[in-house]
Chains A and B, each alone.
Chain A
Amino acid sequence: MALINESFFSAEGLEKRLAGKKFWKVMMTEYWIPKDINFLWALGVVLATTFSILIISGIFLLMYYKPDTALAFDSVNYTIMQEVSYGWLFRHMHGVAASVVFLIIYIHMFTGIYYGSYKKGREMIWISGMLLFVTFSAEGFSGYMLPWGQMSYWAAAVITNLFAGGSLEAWGLVEWIRGGFTVGDATLTRFFMLHVFLIPVVIIGVIVLHFYTLRIPHVNNQISDDIDYDAEAEKYLAGNKRESKVIPFWPVFLSKDFAVLGIFLIFYFYLVFFNFEFAMDPVNFDPANSMKTPTHIYPEWYFLWSYETLRGPFFDMFGMKAGDIGLMIFGLAQVIFVVFPFLDKDPDVLPAHKRPKFFIWFWVMIVDLLVLSVYGKLPPIGANSWIGFTFTALFLLLWVSLPFVTKSDAKARGAL
């Protein structure tokens, strides 16, 4: 590079120094997206927007929130909710977005599974995406503790207690995580730090990684067409926009994204203003009390399915305690989706409706997760326990069968 003579105080001079036009071209106007996609391809931008809403509303909550067991509850329920102008709005935006972001994550995830967008070069997209799911879960859990209500307290107590290791009694670990014998002030302050600093920073880093992993293999399309991006981009740039199979990220793809985003935001703000109660559990409006358990404890809806796999095995089997088996399945449920690309033994990338047995597998998995979620909220008594057990067993069975199901599809197609 040579020295730059153009003035710093001119558009030309800035361009010389930063090469903004080149950057914009690489990131936006010549980042190619296939044409054959539907609204489900817009959910990445929807998620990025929801995350921005969470950060902005979080900043306003952070200015009045006090991470101290004596002050936290009132700083949320009195100061923010009643004194701060629009404090209630920021809290409801934050709480509802935290819930809705998981809905979109799940749809985004299962879109990827349906269209096979996790293999043959797209493994890193899938793995970084699952890393985001895990970090968002940690963010949701740590944030839920902050209002210091009864649900905050007991969710924290039950979840940190998982690290006691069941009957292994991993003494010391759970006390180390809590910073005390029970969930207390040290626990609240450290989870506050995690929620407002460490985990968000990690999430931002992984989002950047997730976008980066997309760049080389490009996004998938509805028929899993293997597009020659250089050739198609050349057509587009030469003016054959109709013939070309691709469009630039900006302005063409994003204009459609913004339409979907608009619909999503109408839905989101409808929830914020008129139906926010689902994200504001009434039990959490009682201050935390370590000597009184609420009559029924359950996590937020997006954790219910994995919570139910924890409770599913309610009797001892194979010489192991029921609680230990549940803990093992629960641990497995948290990580098993990461290895999806390696359990799919079908060499072709195809949407699920072109893979008949996998198509059935896909919908059985969705139904199974929905049933687990419903029963995760019900008290585990009588028939409920047996339904929870059956669908937990089905969950395991589905994962064991995945390699065989996908292989069988490939054989029927003649690909293996």
Chain B
Amino acid sequence: MSNTNRRDFLGMSFAAVAAVGGAASLVGMKQAWDPLPSVLAAGFTTIDLAKAELKPGEPKTFKWRGKPIFVLEMTKEQIADADAEGLPKEYHLNIGDKTYTLVIGICTHLGCIPAWKGIKWKCACHGGEFNPSGKQIFGPPPKPFVVPPFKVEGQVLTLGETGPESTAMIAARA
């Protein structure tokens, strides 16, 4: 009888050590697949609006985490249109007396990259259209362009970090 107990003890000890070792290896294997520190460090892009040489009504494309970022300084007419449509102030990024549209330039339908056509973004894939505020106005896109997380310091935007402005903009589009 005491022999059986000793064997049970050995068996259970072996199982316990194997289980802990197995679980620990799984954690290690999971982490081996995590994005590398260098990849994470490259996940921040700064845009200095003072030096970006934006012209009102003409968007520029920046690159953040491999995705296009559309930045459009809105003209007075475009702001008036957005107000007439009833879009809240937080729909756009307001710095000083300027209003910007700042979005990830990926169509919310199937992930294509739309192109600016003078007054709106138009997607070549399935004909979706977005107005200067980044709101879908025609075709299959189910929701407006997505706003990336960013932090504002003066005129400098750091994409990848979260700030109150981007949180408010994301909430305004939900």
Contacts and interface: CB of A to CB of B under 8 A. Distances in A.
Interface of A: 154, 157-158, 161, 175-184, 186, 190, 290-293, 295-297, 314, 321-323, 379-381, 385
A176 B110 CA distance: 21
Nearest to B107: A293
19 contacts: A158-B110, A161-B111, A176-B30, A177-B33, A179-B34, A181-B43, A182-B67, A183-B66, A186-B35, A190-B33, A290-B66, A291-B68, A292-B113, A293-B112, A296-B125, A314-B140, A379-B126, A380-B126, A381-B140
Given A321-B142, A323-B142, A379-B126, A175 B111 contact: no
A181 B127 CA distance: 27
A181 B112 contact: no
Given A323-B142, A380-B140, A381-B126, A291 B36 contact: no
Interface of B: 30, 33-36, 39, 43, 61, 63, 65-68, 110-113, 124-127, 140, 142
A176 B30 CA distance: 9
Contacts of A158: 110-111
Given A180-B35, A381-B127, A157 B111 contact: yes
A297 B107 CA distance: 13
Given A181-B39, A181-B43, A380-B126, A176 B33 contact: yes
Contacts of A190: 33
Contacts of A297: 110-112, 125
A177 B124 CA distance: 29
A293 B124 CA distance: 9
Contacts of B35: 175-176, 178-181, 186
Contacts of A293: 111-113, 125
Contacts of A290: 66-67
Residue with the highest number of chain A CB atoms closer than 10 Å, among B35, B43, B113: B35
A177 B35 CA distance: 9
B49 to A, nearest CB: 21
Given A181-B39, A181-B43, A380-B140, A295 B33 contact: no
Given A178-B35, A181-B39, A182-B66, 6 more contacts: A157-B111, A290-B67, A293-B112, A379-B126, A381-B127, A381-B140
Contacts of B142: 321-323
Shortest beta-carbon contacts, A-B, top 8: A182-B66, A181-B65, A293-B112, A180-B39, A290-B66, A180-B35, A295-B124, A293-B113
Contacts of B124: 295
Contacts of B67: 181-182, 290
Contacts of B113: 291-293
A381 B125 CA distance: 10
Contacts of A321: 142
A50 B64 CA distance: 43
B167 to A, nearest CB: 15
Contacts of B68: 291
B62 to A, nearest CB: 11
A321 B43 CA distance: 29
Given A176-B34, A293-B113, A322-B142, A182 B65 contact: yes
A296 B111 CA distance: 11
Nearest to B68: A291
A317 to B, nearest CB: 13
Contacts of A183: 66
Contacts of A161: 111
Contact of A181 (B66, B125, B126, B140): B66
A297 B142 CA distance: 18
Given A158-B110, A314-B140, A379 B125 contact: yes
A279 B113 CA distance: 26
Contacts of A182: 65-67
B119 to A, nearest CB: 22
A23 B43 CA distance: 59
Nearest to B139: A381
Given A181-B43, A293-B112, A186 B126 contact: no
B43 to A, nearest CB: 6
Nearest to B43: A181
Contact of B36 (A186, A296, A322): A186
Nearest to B160: A181
Contacts of B66: 180-184, 290
A229 to B, nearest CB: 41
A323 B140 CA distance: 12
A242 to B, nearest CB: 57
A43 B125 CA distance: 40
Residue with the highest number of chain B CB atoms closer than 10 Å, among A177, A183, A379: A379
B39 A179 contact: yes
A291 B43 contact: no
A163 to B, nearest CB: 13
Contacts of A179: 33-36, 39
B147 to A, nearest CB: 13
